[in-house]
Amino acid sequence: MLTFRSLSLVAIGLLLGFSAAAQAATAEAPMPAANADMMAWMLKGVLCAVGLVMALAIIAITTAAVTRRAEGQPAGGATPPAPHTW
């Protein structure tokens, strides 16, 4: 719920900002090629950083799950004892 609300507020803010910029009376000069190239590289850098963080999170979660699973299994391949039923 918190993530959905945050994403909704960000989307509404972006839409309002874009609509306000589209209604501006003065037309700005087009962005020079150097600035556009710099913005493209900055966007690529941000996307790579997000991808790296997600890959590290997936590795950490997988390692924790495998470690927890290995600790729960008894040595020698014996079957674990049946759970108690009260």
Structure tokens at 8: 């909704």
User: What is the C-alpha to C-alpha distance for residues 27 and 71, in angstroms, rounded to an integer?
Assistant: 65
Q: What is the mean pLDDT of the segment spanning 22-45?
A: 76
pLDDT at 14: 80
Cα–Cα dist 62/1, whole Å: 25
- At 22, the amino acid letter reads A
Instruction: Output the six-digit token pair for 45.
Output: 């850098």
Lowest-confidence pick of 6-10, 43-47, 49-53, 66-70: 66-70
